[in-house]
Amino acid sequence: MNTIAVLTSGGDAPGMNAAIRAIVRSGIEKGLRVMGVRRGYNGLIHGDIFEMTLRSVSNIIERGGTILYTARCPEFMTEEGQQKALNTCKYLGIDGLVVIGGDGSFRGAKVLSEKGLPTVGVPGTIDNDIACSELTIGYDTAMNTIVEMVDRLRDTSESHDRCSVIEVMGRRAGYLALNGGIAVGATSVLIPEIPFDLKKDVIDRMRRTQRTGKKNFVIVAAEGINDPIEPMAATIQEETGVEARYTNLGHVQRGGSPTAKDRVLGSKMGYHAVELLANDIGNRVVAVHDGKIVDYDIFEALEMHKTISEAEYKLAYDISI
C-alpha cells in the first residue's frame, strides 16, 4: 500500500476533523501518500482529490463539520457511478480508502471492497446508530448541544408554567432522544424503536405529576417516530390545560466544536483505520467494543443490529415522575 485516500460522507458530525487529522498524520508518518477526497463519493467520481500534507490538517481538531466537505451522492448508487469512482482510484494510484460516515456510507464502502478496493469505515454520525459500535464520532457533542439547548428551553418554560415539546434528530434511531431525555430530566421520551401511546405515556403522566405540584414539563421526541411531533403540543395543551410550545432543535445539533470525548474518539478511530490499511488489511469497520477500539469485517458489520436499551428507557420514565 503506497497511497491511501480519505473521504467524509452522509451527514457531517463534530469530530470528523479529528479523525481526518489522525489519518493524514499517521499515514504520512508511516510513509504513505495521503489524498483527501472532497464531498464524499462525488469527489471520487469526479476526481475532486488533492494530496494532503502534515500542515493540511493543522488547527482543525477543534473545528466542527468536515474540512473535506460531505455529500449524499445518488450517482454512487449506480453501477456506472461506482465504476467511475474505481477508475479515478486506479488513475491516481489510490490503493486503499478510509470512509468516515454512517451506515449508508459504509454500504458504499462495501461495494468498493467487493470490487477490489480495500476500504475501512470509520463511524461518524451524531445518531450513534452504527450497529457494530458502542459509540460513533459526533454523538457526544450532539448530546451536549441538546442538553444545553433544552436547559435553555426549560428556563423559559418553567417561568411560564409551560410544556416544551422538543424534536431532536434521529431518523431511524432514538439514542439522542433517549439519552438526551435522561440528561435533561424529560417527563416523556418518544423514540422510533419503542411504540408509545400519547395519552398513556405523555398526557396521563403529566396529569399525575400535576397532582403532585409539577407545573412545567419537557417532552423529548426523536424525529423518526411515526407521528408528527408539532401537533402534539396542541393536543397536550387541550388535554392538560398546560400551555405548550413546540421547538425543533434541527441542524444546530450537528454543528459546533467537538467535545474532548469526540476529539479523542475521532483521533483513535482514524489512527486505527490507518494501522489496518498500512498492514494491507481492508474491508473493515472500526468500532468501539467494551470501551476499546476494535474492527469488524465490513460485510458482517452491516448485518449487525443495534437495539435500544429497554432498561434505559424504563429508567428515563421511572425517574421523571
Residues that bind ligand ADP (CB under 6 A): 9-11, 41, 72-73, 76-77, 101-105, 107-108, 111, 125
Phi, psi (deg, nearest 5) at residue 228: -65, 140
The answer to whether 127 contacts ligand F6P (rule: CB under 6 A) is yes
The answer to whether 177 contacts ligand F6P (rule: CB under 6 A) is no
What is the C-alpha to C-alpha distance for residues 88 and 83, in angstroms, rounded to an integer? 9
Question: Can you spell out the DSSP letters for 130-152?
Answer: -TT-S--BTHHHHHHHHHHHHHH
Grid-cell match 433517549, residue found: 178
Report the interhelical angle of 175-184 vs 310-318 (nearest 10°). 30
Q: Choosing from 12, 95, 127, 295, which is the catalytic residue? A: 127
What is the smallest separation between the CB atom of 214 and ligand F6P, expressed in angstroms?
A: 30
Nearest to 8 by CA among 142, 86, 87, 123: 123
The answer to whether 105 contacts ligand F6P (rule: CB under 6 A) is no
The entry of ligand F6P, ligand ADP, none near residue 105 (CB within 5 to 8 angstroms by kind) is ligand ADP
The answer to whether 125 contacts ligand F6P (rule: CB under 6 A) is yes
Q: Which of 65, 81, 123, 170 binds ligand F6P (CB under 6 A)?
A: 170
Q: Which of 39, 154, 254, 268 binds ligand F6P (CB under 6 A)?
A: 254
Residues 6+ apart with CB under 8 A from 60: 17, 18, 20, 21, 67
Nearer to ligand ADP, 95 or 127 (CB): 127
Q: If DSSP codes are grouped into helix, strand and coil, which group holds residue 125?
A: coil
Is the separation of the CB atoms in 52 and 36 below 8 Å?
yes
Phi, psi (deg, nearest 5) at residue 125: -165, 140
The entry of ligand F6P, ligand ADP, none near residue 103 (CB within 5 to 8 angstroms by kind) is ligand ADP
Binding to ligand F6P by CB under 6 A, coded x per residue (else -) over 21-60, reads ----------------------------------------
The neighbour count for residue 197, using CB atoms within 10 Å, is 9
Stretch that binds ligand F6P, among 45-53, 110-118, 125-133, 147-155 (CB under 6 A): 125-133
The answer to whether 102 contacts ligand F6P (rule: CB under 6 A) is yes
Nearer to ligand F6P, 120 or 176 (CB): 176
Nearest to 49 by CA among 12, 86, 6, 17: 6
Active site residue 127: yes
Q: By Cβ distance, which residue is nearest to ligand ADP?
A: 104
Residues involved in catalysis: 127
